[in-house]
Amino acid sequence: MFLPSHTRVYLAAGATDMRKQINGLSIMVADRLEMDPLSGHLFVFCNRRRNMIKVLYWDRTGFCLWHKRLEKHFFKWPETIEDAWEIDSRQLGWLIDGLEVYQAKAHKPLEYTTLY
């Protein structure tokens, strides 16, 4: 996922009611996260079962809402009491793929074998 360098990604820790749409989520950004929903940053929410996320953002002409549901697995969602975590676009890609947001290593090291 390509994001401009000034764009930030915030995870709203805890469970969010996924019945909320653009208006409800933008109110949550303003009230609960105390941030500006019109900032152009991405705000990511997850349901209690951790199998759905929604990404809310403003693209200069209106709000956009992106929704993903995993069929067999769960999102690795922060369980801290903090209101929001800030992550980068690479970590957002990991999250969307169902991986941990904070990876020690992106891939397992390659093992080389000799053919001699």
DSSP symbol at 62: S
Task: Look at the block and give the residue holding tokens 């915030």.
Answer: 10
The model carries a pTM of: 0.82
Closest CA to 21 of 47, 54, 68: 54
Confidence of residue 100 (pLDDT cuts 50, 70, 90): confident
Q: What is the pLDDT of residues 34-83, one digit of tens each?
A: 999 999 999 999 999 999 999 999 988 999 999 999 998 888 887 766 65
